[in-house]
Amino acid sequence: MTQHSTPEDVKQLVLIRMETLSSHKKISIGSYGEFSKEEIIQHIKDDDEIGKKMIQVEMEFLRALKKGII
Amino acid sequence: MGEVAGFRERFLKIYPNLPLKLRSETIVIIDKEPISWNVAYIEVFNNTQKSMKILKKLDELKII
Amino acid sequence: MILYLATRPEHDDTTYYLSHWCKKTFLTAESHGIKVFDLHREKANREEFEGRMNKFSPNFVVLNGHGDVDKVGGHKNEILVSSGVNEDVLKGKIVYAISCKSANILGKTSVEKGALNYTGYDDDFIFFYEPKNMTKPLTDETAKLFLEHSQLFIESLLKGNSLKASKEKAENKLRENINKILSTESSDSELARFLVWDLNHFISHGDLDTSLGV
């Protein structure tokens, strides 16, 4: 299945936001496995499935803020 | 100009409801500079030239 | 007697954490006179799973493990139940799957084939943990933010509450944790987006008024 490449400005935004993650923690992403912050950042740069998933999580969150998340 | 005025209103409605901790997070990159909610607010509140770029981008990203 | 079956594979960090957090619920089960079938590690295989399901017909099934939209895996990702193959093994059961995406298709088809309720996640379940706590996953305060709602959900059902009430408790716990880390005194605010993701993808198919009748 062909996936569109993520617009560069979105990718850059998500990359900056992901830099705030702690390097002492790991993330388990369901079907994909466990990753460090550095690995996640690389996946976002590569714009692969895992990277796109992280971008989706991030952008959904940002867009939900306008509806109020609390 | 009218369009940006609309964006400004939307931004100013969203901002007060943001948790304080989130306001220092980057929400957009303008001219290679990361901009947080707080920084965006200062620009938007003061109706600066920069704020127009910020608001257009936030609208484009569907963040406002 | 109410019977509770849980699959607890442990072949990577993810399943190790899920396994330990699920095991916490066994105490609640036993204190309510509920018998537990614990398919731990290698026992979380298809033969053992189908065997116990067919022989004992547990009322409540908790599936820990990796999955996909139409399947749930056990130890070393051996497929335990799959849409269009054997989801009828869940007929008449209340099912909770902490298994990515399985509520998307498997959840629906299980209910169509007679499961009372299937609750799970319709996209990847995401959680953070601290590797330094790997040997003591229950002390991991980061993982707790993501996993305690799951434990609460299970325990609420074991205490006889309805699916609807139990799901609300779990969702409220996630919201509580989101609020906690967004407060000015927290240093974990960057985790909020992932908790919100899990909350938005925590869904239920089937009868919400059902309960274990404890």
Chain C positions touching A20 (Cβ under 8 A) are 190
User: What is residue A52's three-state secondary structure?
Assistant: helix
Q: Which residues of A touch C12 (CB under 8 A)?
A: 33-34
The predicted model gives C108-118 an average pLDDT of 97
Report whether B20 contacts B12 (CB < 8 A): no
- Does the structure show a pLDDT above 60 at A1? no
Contact of B61 with chain A, judged by CB distance below 8 Å, is answered with yes
Q: In the CATH hierarchy, which top-level class contains the domain C3-206?
A: alpha beta
Contact (CB<8Å) B26/A17: yes
Can you tell me the ipTM of this complex?
0.94
For residue C123, pLDDT over 70 is answered with yes
Distance from C-alpha of C53 to C-alpha of C90, rounded to nearest angstrom? 8
Indicate the pLDDT class of residue B5, thresholds 50, 70 and 90. confident
pLDDT of residue C21: 97
Residue B38 confidence (pLDDT): 98
Which helix H or strand E contains C8, and what residues bound it?
A: strand C3-8
Distance from CA of A11 to the nearest CA of B (A): 11
H or E element: which one contains C193? Answer: helix C192-200
The mean pLDDT of chain C is: 96
pLDDT of A70: 56
A62 neighbourhood in chain B, CB within 8 Å: 27, 61, 63
pLDDT tens per residue across span C32-69: 999 999 999 999 999 999 999 999 999 999 999 999 99
Q: How far is it, in rounded angstroms, from Cα C121 to Cα C100?
A: 6
Q: Which of C187, C189, C193 to mutate to test the interface with B (most CBs of B within 10 A)?
A: C189
Q: What is the pTM of this model?
A: 0.95
Contact pairs from chain A to chain C, CB under 8 Å: 76
- C167 CB contacts (<8 Å, ≥6 apart)? C119, C153, C202, C204, C208
For residue range C130-188, list pLDDT tens digits in order.
999 999 999 999 999 999 999 999 999 999 999 999 999 999 999 999 999 999 888 89
Contact across the interface for A9 and B29, Cβ inside 8 Å = yes
Q: How many helices (H) and strands (E) does chain A have?
A: 3, 2
**Distance (Å) of CA C61 to CA A6, B14, C91, C95, C110:** 39, 43, 11, 5, 12
Q: Nearest CA to CA, how far is B48 from chain A (Å)? A: 22
Query: Residues of C with CB below 8 A from A29's CB?
Result: 124, 126
A37: nearest CA partner in chain C: C128
- pLDDT at position B1, please? 55
d(CA B27, CA B33): 11
Rg of chain A on CA atoms, in Å: 12
pLDDT tens digits for A16-45? 999 999 999 999 998 899 999 999 999 999
Q: Are residues B61 and B28 in contact, defined by beta-carbon separation less than 8 angstroms?
A: yes
Share of chain B above pLDDT 90, in %: 92
Tell me, what's the pLDDT at A68? Answer: 84
Of residues C151, C135, C156, the one with CA closest to residue C10 = C135
H or E stretch at A51: helix A49-64
Q: At residue A2, does pLDDT exceed 80?
A: no
The phi and psi torsions of C147 (rounded to 5 degrees) equal -105, -15
- Quick one: pLDDT at residue C87? 96
For B36, the enclosing helix (H) or strand (E) is strand B33-36
Report the neighbours of A using a cutoff of 3 or more CB pairs below 8 angstroms: B, C
Domains in chain C: boundaries? 3-206
List Cα–Cα distances, B46 to B12, B39, B49, B63, in angstroms.
12, 11, 9, 20
Question: Rounded to whole angstroms, how far apart are CA atoms A36 and C208?
Answer: 38
